[in-house]
Structure 1
Amino acid sequence: MRAAFMYGAGDVRIDTVPDPVIQRPADALVRVVAACICGSDLHPYHSMPVGEASPMGHEFIGIVEEIGGEVSTVERGDLVIAPFAWSDGTCEFCREGLQTSCLHGGFWAAGGIGGGQAEAVRVPLADGTLVKAPVGEDSEFLPHLLTLSDVYGTGYHAAKRANVGPGDKVVVIGDGAVGLLAVLSARQLGAQQIILMGRHKDRTDLGREFGATDVVADRGDEGIAAVRDLTGGHGAHKVLEAVGHMPAYTQATGVVRPGGVISRVGVPQYEEAPVGFGSLFGPNITLTGGPAPVRAYIEELMPAVLDGTVQPGKVFDRTIGLDQVPDGYRAMDRREALKVLIRP
């Protein structure tokens, strides 16, 4: 089969590799019908040292082609959504809705598990991982369902960890796919005011469609001042940081109000961040967030996708075949595309 591999910064290739096979009774083989490139894939695209090739992709949906003897929740022919982390569904962390900390799980493209930017994937712990969707592979809902494998669930996680609720003033930092879907999630949870901090008009226009009441394009002190002006001078109750770089964290600490919450879901590209008296401790600010256990949210979010109430798949603005994946990385890196959909 064909699959995408990264060999170093800026070097993505499509290789031919052996087809995956059932290795354990809890495995399932899934033929990928839709996958995508994530903004977090651009981190290694910028910095990965040359070395052993790494399989790419952690967001995919597909058709179950084969199951191991212990698999009981899905069967051949089912269309399934694969969260970006696989998990057993039974350990204490899974039972608490924290599947990203599963005692027996892991992440795609690591530990000998293939990536989702491929024609097929072996799914470990299929019963705990895969979620059946009641549609076929020709469904018009595929792009929207695909967002449940990561970006929609991650944006929702940002809002849930911040405990966004009715009447809240919310700031979302970042106009990538996760930030835009954090806007959508904050609206679903009843936020009164949603300020999107982003400077790409095509993206912030989509953010307004998803529910942003205001857009702030300025950064640094000017951006902080603009947000505080929009919030009566006090700042936002909840700040959802969907970038992962230090300037975004600095923005977050600048726009949150005393007693507020900063929820980070952008993969941090820094090791140290201020949390002392002058930043978070003194004004009683809560810092939360982390990798989204999207498996915990799929059943909750899927009905609104299937009845058309929300259309999170609008974040996809380019569709390519598997052979064009290197071009897709370049397009996202150059901000010529917001999020690239792959149809193997």
Structure 2
Amino acid sequence: MTSLKAGDLVVAPFTYSDNTCDYCAKGLHISCRNGGRYGFDGVDGGQGEAVRVPHADGTLVKLPVAADSALLPSLLALSDVMTTGHHGAVTADVGRGDAVLVVGDGAVGLCAVIAAKRLGAERIVLAGRHEARTGLGREFGATDVVAERGQEGIARIRELTGGVDKVIEAVGTRQALDTALGAVLDGGTISRLGVPQYEQGPIGPAEFMRNITLTGGASPARAYIEQLLPDVLDGTIAPGRVFDQTFPLNRTPDAYQAMADRQVLKALIRP
């Protein structure tokens, strides 16, 4: 350990990496040759009073704030949901003036709205049906909300936009992918952020003839933290607003159950 000292406040991405291998050099820290996930292969789980972080020099990012900073929730979001939403916008190649569809109103989908707006998207359609969440999505930059699902939802999105060039799919179900494929224009790009809950998808001749690009995947969060950090520090983005309830560490199972039951959008755990 050379870059940090006892007492430093840090943010840790959801995987560890050495930040020196060829994959890390490409910004693909999720594939680090010496990296891995917390809670596997004898490595501590990521939620506890103390955690041993492998390759700490390459994994942890020092924060220039105190532990009681009001920015802490947004800084914590850089460990996963904000960097994942940003990954979707980057891999979809969102740029100035784009029309973007975000499928899913969970924490990652809402952060994808932030990311798309940050990269200059002009129109952002958020597909979701939980009013409290989509309301927050509007505050983050969504210009339209579509609550309908399936073919009805696709028809509504196309009615609003005529179809979109960029889609960020942040759910992981086959229905969400079908929505993305139905809404995207020929030659468009779909970035998948939701962990797939299916093994087979529609990649046959019909999709082939449309020249659609499928991209996305697990976020290399470490690659993005330092890119997004200045915007959190100066208040340009506030992804910490996705944390809508706080739990003490000894109630972590309750926090996960509350999220699974859709009672909580994103739980913040405090020691």
Considering the TM-score relative to the shorter chain, is it more than 0.5?
A: yes
Correspondence for 1:143: 73
Say which of 256, 259, 264 aligns to 1:332: 259
For these two proteins, the number of residue pairs brought into alignment is 271
Partner Cα distance (1:116, 1:124) in 2: 12
Q: CA deviation at 1:337?
A: 0.5
**1:76 CA displacement:** 1.0
For 2:39 and 2:66, locate their aligned partners in 1 and report how far apart those are by CA, in whole Å. Answer: 26
Q: Is residue 82 from structure 1 mapped to residue 9 from structure 2 by the alignment?
A: no
Alignment of 1:166-181 (within 5 A): 166-181=96-111
1:221-236 aligned at under 5 Å gives the runs 221-232=151-162, 235-236=163-164
User: Scaled by the length of structure 2, what TM-score is found?
Assistant: 0.99
User: Is structure 2 residue 21 aligned with structure 1 residue 94?
Assistant: no
How far apart, CA to CA, are the structure 2 residues paired with 1:308 and 1:191? 19
What is aligned with 1:251? 179
Secondary structure in structure 2 of the residue aligned to 1:260: strand
Instruction: Please state how far the C-alpha of 1:269 moved relative to its aligned partner.
Output: 1.3
Supply the distance in 1 between the matched residues of 2:238 and 2:147 (Cα, whole angstroms). Answer: 24
CA–CA distance in 1 between the matches of 2:101 and 2:205?
22
Report how far residue 284 of structure 1 moved: 0.5
Aligned twin of 1:120: 50
Match of 2:168 among 237, 240, 252: 240
Structure number having the greater helix percentage: 2
In the alignment, structure 1 residue 203 sits paired with structure 2 residue 130 = no
Q: What secondary structure is seen at the aligned counterpart in 1 of 2:214? A: strand
2: distance between equivalents of 1:77 and 1:339? 27
The Cα offsets for residues 270-289 of structure 1, whole Å up to 9 and x where unpaired, read as: 1111112212x111100000
Bigger Rg, which one:
1
Shift of residue 339 of structure 1?
0.3
Separation of aligned partners in 2, 1:101 and 1:278: 32
- Structure 2 unaligned spans of 5+: none
1:231 positional shift: 1.0
Which amino acid in the other structure matches residue 189 of structure 2? V
Could you tell me how far 1:265 is from its partner in structure 2? 0.8
User: Is 2:249 aligned against 1:322?
Assistant: yes
Question: What CA deviation, in whole Å up to 9, does each residue of 1:38-76 have, x standing for no partner?
Answer: xxxxxxxxxxxxxxxxxxxxxxxxxxxxxxxxx111111
Q: Does 1:287 pair with 2:217?
A: no
Query: C-alpha separation between the residues in 2 aligned to 1:252 and 1:309?
Result: 29
CA RMSD of aligned residues (A): 0.8
**Which SS does the other structure have where 2:231 is aligned?**
helix
Distance 2:44 2:146 in 1: 40
Structure 1's unaligned 5+ residue stretches are 1-70
Tell me whether 1:303 sits opposite 2:230 in the alignment: yes
Deviation track 1:182-224 (CA, whole Å, cap 9, x = no partner) reads: 0000000001110000000000000000000000000000000
Higher strand share: 1
- What is the rounded CA distance, in whole Å, between the counterparts of 1:270 and 1:108 in structure 2? 25
1:151 Cα deviation after fit: 0.3
Deviation at 1:330, TM superposition (A): 1.8
Q: CA deviation at 1:140?
A: 1.1
- Normalising to structure 1: TM-score of the pair? 0.78
Identity %: 61
* Equivalent in the alignment of 2:149: 219
Structure 1: distance between partners of 2:61 and 2:148: 40
Q: Secondary structure, in 3 states, of the residue corresponding to 2:188?
A: strand
Q: Which amino acid aligns with 2:28?
A: L
| Aligned equivalents of 2:138, 2:40: Cα separation in 1 | 37
**Secondary structure of 2:215's match?**
strand
